Structure 1
Amino acid sequence: MRIDKLLWFLRFAGSRGLAQGWVEEGHIRLNGRRVERCSAGVKTGDVLVLPLRNSVRVIEIITLPARRGPALEAQGCYRVLDAAPLAPLARPEIEP
């Protein structure tokens, strides 16, 4: 399955165009390699590194989704590998 379509089906991207932008800008990693082609194929067992707002999420694809369904259906298609709670990439500096 194409990586842009997968990101949209799994509800990480609100639109397929947004997913294509992330891929073309080199923000997505597939099995440790930066992906720059939207047509890059993803299969079961692949590991993706995704930027999310202020953090990074690492997931393993368990099964390829057949459609863009509800969030619970999408979450059943992948396993989160970074089990630690989401932490911000940068914290604002607080002065006493």
Structure 2
Amino acid sequence: MDKWLWHARVVKARTSAAELVESGHVRVNGEREKSPGRAIKIGDVITVALDRTVRVLKVTAFNERRGDAASARVLYEELNEAKRN
């Protein structure tokens, strides 16, 4: 979970991703998650409360390592884009 959040560039550091999960700011398929090491799969919907916003992301892929913003963007589909505009 924390690794995917970091690879998807939701946060700048993997430790920040772990803290986000542990503090209860992340849900997987509607269920609050507290374990940063939780396995996620393609099709899971991740809801992240971060910086006064809520992002809803559908997992579409995984990466072996963290890449640039363009490669991160293919890891998810933003489900709440209409609300962000």
TM-score, normalization by structure 2: 0.92
The residue that corresponds to 2:76 in the other structure is 78
SS in 2 for 1:22: helix
The structure that has the greater radius of gyration is 1
The residue that corresponds to 1:67 in the other structure is 65
The residue that corresponds to 1:31 in the other structure is 29
Q: Distance in 1 between matches of 2:51 and 2:3?
A: 20
Q: Distance in 1 between matches of 2:2 and 2:48?
A: 12
Alpha-carbon shift at residue 4 of structure 1 (Å)? 0.5
SS in 2 for 1:84: helix
SS in 2 for 1:38: coil
The residue that corresponds to 1:8 in the other structure is 6
Higher share in helix? 2
The residue that corresponds to 1:94 in the other structure is none
Q: Distance in 2 between matches of 1:79 and 1:44?
A: 11
Count of equivalent residues: 85
SS in 2 for 1:73: helix
Q: Distance in 2 between matches of 1:43 and 1:12?
A: 17
Q: Distance in 1 between matches of 2:77 and 2:49?
A: 16
Alpha-carbon shift at residue 83 of structure 1 (Å)? 2.4
Q: Distance in 2 between matches of 1:52 and 1:75?
A: 18
Structure 1: gaps (5+ residues): 88-96
- How big is the alpha-carbon RMSD for the aligned residues of Structure 1 and Structure 2? 1.3
Alpha-carbon shift at residue 30 of structure 1 (Å)? 0.4
Pairing 1:42-57 to 2, within 5 Å after superposition: 42-57=40-55
